Amino acid sequence: MAGKAEASPDGFRVWTESDQGAVVVRAAGELDIDSAGTFEDELRRTIAGERSFVTLHLGDVEFIDSTGLRALLSAVELSSMYGTRFAILRELSPPVERAFEVAGMANTLPFID
């Protein structure tokens, strides 16, 4: 079951998909200062909604800036507060993977294969 995609004016999209109790939040486009609020709102709604496990798919994100990185750190904190298991799928676009490396987050975020 797929949720409604929230799109920002610059074409960034974020939506949820559910399958047998698991929830995947998917994002596509540029995750920057213009779209980070939409992204963070969707993560907050999903993590706070009685879910035991939330995964994040960033494979279609073409760019991420510091506001997008901050939103990810907020999601990790929020999942801890709500007791929700949260993980990022390792299927990353090269620009996002590079941003995680440069920011020193490549080995600190909760990844799954």
In the chain, domain spans: 6-112
Residues 6 or more apart in contact with residue 107 via CB below 8 angstroms: none
Specify the pLDDT at position 97. Answer: 95
The topology under which CATH files domain 6-112 is: Transcription Regulator spoIIAA (3.30.750)
**pLDDT tens column, 81-95:** 999 999 999 999 999
Average pLDDT, the chain: 90
Give the residue from 67, 102, 71, 103 showing the smallest Cα distance to 88.
71
User: How much is the pLDDT for 7?
Assistant: 53
Amino acid 8: pLDDT:
54
pLDDT more than 70, % of the chain: 90
Mean pLDDT of the region 25-50? 94
